[in-house]
């Protein structure tokens, strides 16, 4: 039986679909501040792109960060900064990832190691300064995503490292906001040579052992007795030239983890954009917000189903019991005889 | 019409629209002989109409469920406005007040004053395209020429971040000019250089800048944020010995800009009020006819589809109610 009620309820559901207001519905969004290392060691080509060609760490960061941004839910925001030496700078405060995507894409594509206003890289100081910068420009609600390979150049004296735990402590006497975040280690575990460029950006070889300081000579050593040729005034770091491989670079995972731990940060080693996205969308970083959500598709799809039932041939499941076909086999013409 | 679907896979259900041709909404009735009820022309038409209503109901419901929408559209219109690139000085001295002191609540830093006024300016110019470049020792790309005001505002916020190193005006201007490289030439093209210092330009930089300003036909506004008692654009050298670009870079940079074959305006700004006046003047000057794109946001047509479906289903319901019992 084809009931009128199927059509009737279909119509009622459609009225609901048309008149239903957008309902507040909780959803997730993310607010990031990407801080990208643009020091020279980021030029090391120890990643591969889709075609298997070598690409630099910086190019890898740019490509994967963009791919991850594309996957973020609308309403999420991304701000951008770069750092070199110990100094971070803000390029822009967070922008919405859907409406302002073309601008985000263009600005990330244009990040270049030649933006660096000074050489050197002092990762831990830059990290501490980034935390302070975010407090200065009132970005403490954003999640800091700190992309770096952890290569300190020149090597630093750990006696003078800033206390990250104190920078992140939120007790009463230093009334500051805690900043959530993630350190993303970039680079391969194997050591690679760091390319050297001239002022026009043309590669002119690689850094050699003589080009870079192989150990720290800053401040006072922790234990002078261990230093060969120690002279308190004239040679506080000894009088021997030191061998080392500071001119080669790999991702310093242990070091970066030791930065992440006191600051209560997550650590992630950059490999694929999907893994990066998973690390970025960790529950610790998500912000719940109430979004007006259009749920009219629920009554509408029910209505479609009922309409479908209303049209469904009634004998479709009972083909065999067709009673309506005439059983007379002979054709009797009407005007016979 | 730029039509798009939020969930295109739902369109498979359009096959349902064939149902009205196969089956109907009425109960089949036994009749002794079909030819006793001859189909009149009216019946045929009514029958077609009923089928059509069914097809309409299915199609509009499925289109609605698939999230039919008109995509973002841009209309080309003609108004007045400009393509404006802000070239912002991010050197360390921008953190000081106009008085050369550490900023406090009553007297904000130069960078904060500049940020507030530029951001108001951007809001007051609805049709302009804005781009932002920062520079210190090196230039950095901040945001491309865009009509999205939210992006430009976020980029101007970069002024709140502490300044960096030195002032390399030539490289900043160079990057600012490169924004016009592949832009269609409509309306006025403007570079607004906001800096609190100047630097000497070497011959190579001077030649390149002159060539590019001429090629791209960009007018230049220089907002020089002068620190109190500091040297300004118009300061005269006291002795002939001081009259050189090392001692008075502002004076020489200004002289170089004057020789460029483009409109050039310099404003010496030493209070927040004078900056406001300068920006106001820029607002008045740069309003040539401009071909601009007006963005019509995405138009969701889901409800319209459901409404159409409702109309069709209600009509069918009425017809069904007339069905002989």
ipTM: 0.73
Residue A7 lies in a domain: no
Residues A90 and A195 reside in one and the same domain: yes
Whole-number Å distance between alpha carbons of B232 and B225: 9
Residue A337 confidence (pLDDT): 42
Mean pLDDT within A108-127: 86
Residues B285 and B136 reside in one and the same domain: yes
Share of chain A above pLDDT 70, in %: 91
Residues B54 and B191 reside in one and the same domain: no
**Per-residue pLDDT tens over the stretch A133-163:** 898 888 888 999 999 998 887 887 777 778 8
pLDDT surpassing 60 at residue B57 = yes
Residue A2 confidence (pLDDT): 66
Parent domain of B55: 3-71+297-321
Residue A79 confidence (pLDDT): 93
Residues B160 and B39 reside in one and the same domain: no
Parent domain of A234: 213-246
Residues A255 and A181 reside in one and the same domain: yes
**Per-residue pLDDT tens over the stretch B273-319:** 777 788 888 777 766 666 666 666 677 888 889 999 999 999 988 88
Whole-number Å distance between alpha carbons of B280 and B302: 45
Residues A235 and A276 reside in one and the same domain: no
Sequence-separated (6 or more) residues with CB below 8 Å from residue B215? none
Contact B309 A8 (CB under 8 A): no
pLDDT confidence band for A325 (50 / 70 / 90): low
Residues A145 and A231 reside in one and the same domain: no
Q: Which residues, numbered 6 to 35 in chain A, qualify as contacts with chain B under a Cβ-Cβ cut-off of 8 Å?
A: 7-8, 10-11, 14-15, 17-18
Contact A82 B155 (CB under 8 A): no
Whether the CB-CB separation of B190 and B286 falls below 8 Å is answered with yes
Contact A103 B146 (CB under 8 A): yes
Whole-number Å distance between alpha carbons of B159 and B115: 6
Residues B155 and B252 reside in one and the same domain: yes
Residue A331 confidence (pLDDT): 54
Residues B301 and B162 reside in one and the same domain: no
**Per-residue pLDDT tens over the stretch A56-103:** 999 999 999 999 998 888 888 999 999 988 889 889 999 998 888 888
* Of residues B23, B90, B150, nearest to A313 (C-beta): B23
CATH of the domain at A49: 3.40.50.410
Residue A6 confidence (pLDDT): 86
Residues A240 and A98 reside in one and the same domain: no
Q: Which residues of chain A lie closer than 8 angstroms to B94, CB-CB? A: none
Residues A257 and A227 reside in one and the same domain: no
Whole-number Å distance between alpha carbons of A69 and A31: 11
Rounded alpha-carbon distances, angstroms, from residue B96 to A27, B104, B110, B152, B229: 43, 10, 6, 24, 14
DSSP A80: E
Residues A122 and A137 reside in one and the same domain: yes
Residue B82 confidence (pLDDT): 81
Pairing of strands A77-84, A87-96: antiparallel
Whether the CB-CB separation of A313 and A2 falls below 8 Å is answered with no
Residue B189 confidence (pLDDT): 87
| A289 beta partners | A27
pLDDT surpassing 60 at residue A327 = no
Residues A188 and A163 reside in one and the same domain: yes
Whether the CB-CB separation of B222 and B266 falls below 8 Å is answered with yes
What tokens does B4 get?
A: 């798009």
The upper half-sphere exposure of residue B298, i.e. CA atoms within 13 Å in the direction of its Cβ, equals: 12
DSSP A57: H
Residue A46 lies in a domain: yes
For B101, phi then psi, to 5°, come to -115, 175
pLDDT surpassing 70 at residue A21 = yes
Contact A94 B136 (CB under 8 A): no
Residue B133 confidence (pLDDT): 93
**What count of other Cβ atoms lies within 10 Å of the Cβ of residue A167?**
19
The residue ranking higher by pLDDT, B133 or A114, is B133
Residues B43 and B107 reside in one and the same domain: no
The number of distinct structural domains making up chain A is 2
**Per-residue pLDDT tens over the stretch A122-141:** 889 899 999 988 988 888 88
Sequence-separated (6 or more) residues with CB below 8 Å from residue A327? none
Sign for the pseudo-dihedral over CA of B18, B24, B28, B29: negative
- CA of B241 to nearest chain A CA: how many angstroms apart? 32
For the ranges A47-51, A135-139, B75-79, the lowest mean pLDDT is seen at B75-79
Residues B123 and B253 reside in one and the same domain: yes
**Per-residue pLDDT tens over the stretch B156-172:** 988 888 777 777 888 88
**Per-residue pLDDT tens over the stretch B84-108:** 899 988 877 777 777 777 777 777 7
Whole-number Å distance between alpha carbons of A174 and A168: 10
């Amino acid at each position: 039986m084809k009931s009128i009620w199927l059509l009737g309820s279909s119509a009622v559901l459609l009225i609901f679909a048309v008149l239903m207001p957008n309902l507040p519905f909780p959803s997730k969004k993310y607010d990031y501040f990407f801080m990208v290392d643009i020091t020279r060691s980021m030029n090391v080509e120890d990643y591969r792109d889709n075609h298997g060609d070598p690409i630099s760490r910086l190019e890898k960061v740019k490509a994967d960060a963009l791919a991850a941004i594309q996957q973020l839910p609308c309403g999420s925001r991304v701000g951008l900064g770069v750092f070199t030496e110990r100094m971070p700078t803000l390029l822009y405060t967070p922008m919405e990832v859907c409406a302002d995507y073309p601008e985000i894409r263009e600005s990330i594509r244009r990040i270049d190691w030649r933006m660096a206003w000074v050489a050197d890289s002092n990762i831990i100081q830059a990290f501490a300064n980034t935390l302070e910068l975010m407090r200065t420009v009132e970005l403490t609600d954003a999640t800091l995503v700190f992309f770096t390979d952890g290569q300190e150049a020149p090597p630093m004296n750990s006696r003078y490292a800033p206390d990250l735990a104190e920078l992140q402590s939120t007790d009463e006497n230093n009334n500051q906001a805690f900043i959530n975040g993630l350190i993303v280690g970039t680079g391969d575990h194997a050591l690679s040579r760091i390319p050297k460029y001239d002022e026009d950006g043309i590669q002119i070889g690689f850094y050699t052992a003589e080009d870079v300081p192989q150990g720290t000579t800053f401040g006072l050593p922790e234990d002078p007795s261990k230093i060969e040729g120690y002279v308190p005034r004239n040679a506080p770091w000894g009088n021997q030239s030191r061998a080392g491989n500071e001119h080669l670079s790999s991702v310093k995972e242990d070091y970066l983890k030791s930065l992440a731990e006191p600051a209560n940060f997550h650590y992630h080693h950059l490999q694929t954009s999907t893994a990066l996205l998973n690390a970025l969308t960790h529950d610790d970083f998500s912000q719940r917000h109430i979004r007006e959500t259009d749920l009219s598709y629920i009554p509408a799809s029910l209505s479609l189903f009922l309409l479908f039932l209303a049209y469904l041939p009634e004998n479709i499941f009972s083909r065999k019991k067709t009673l309506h076909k005439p059983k007379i086999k002979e054709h009797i013409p009407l005007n016979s005889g | 019409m730029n039509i798009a679907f939020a969930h295109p896979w739902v369109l498979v259900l359009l096959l349902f629209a064939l149902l009205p041709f196969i089956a109907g909404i009425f109960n089949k009735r036994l009749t002794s002989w079909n030819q006793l009820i001859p189909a009149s022309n009216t019946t045929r038409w009514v029958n077609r109409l009923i089928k059509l209503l069914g097809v309409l109901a299915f199609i509009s419901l499925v289109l609605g469920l698939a999230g039919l929408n008109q995509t973002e559209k841009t209309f080309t219109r003609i108004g007045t406005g400009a393509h404006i690139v802000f070239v912002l000085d991010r050197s360390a001295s921008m953190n000081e007040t106009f008085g050369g002191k550490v900023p406090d609540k009553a007297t904000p830093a130069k960078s904060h004053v500049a940020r507030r006024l530029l951001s108001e300016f951007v809001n007051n110019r609805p049709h302009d395209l804005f781009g932002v470049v920062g520079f210190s020792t090196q230039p950095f790309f901040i945001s491309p020429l865009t009509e999205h005001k939210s992006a430009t505002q976020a980029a101007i916020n970069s002024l709140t971040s502490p300044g960096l190193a030195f002032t390399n005006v030539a490289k900043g201007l160079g990057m600012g000019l490169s924004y016009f490289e592949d832009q269609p030439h409509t309306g006025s093209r403007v570079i607004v250089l906001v800096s609190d210092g100047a630097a000497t330009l070497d011959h190579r930089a001077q030649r390149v800048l002159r060539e590019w300003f001429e090629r791209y036909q960009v007018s230049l506004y220089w907002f020089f944020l002068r620190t109190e008692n500091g040297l300004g654009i118009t300061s005269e050298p006291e002795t002939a010995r001081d009259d050189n670009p090392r001692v008075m870079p502002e004076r020489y940079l200004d002289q170089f800009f004057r020789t460029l074959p483009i409109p050039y305006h310099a404003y010496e700004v030493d209070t927040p009020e004078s900056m406001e006046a300068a920006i106001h003047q820029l607002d008045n000057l740069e309003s040539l006819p401009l071909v601009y794109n007006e963005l019509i946001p995405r138009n969701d047509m889901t409800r319209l589809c459901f409404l159409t479906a409702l109309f069709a289903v209600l009509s069918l319901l009425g017809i069904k109610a007339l069905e002989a019992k």
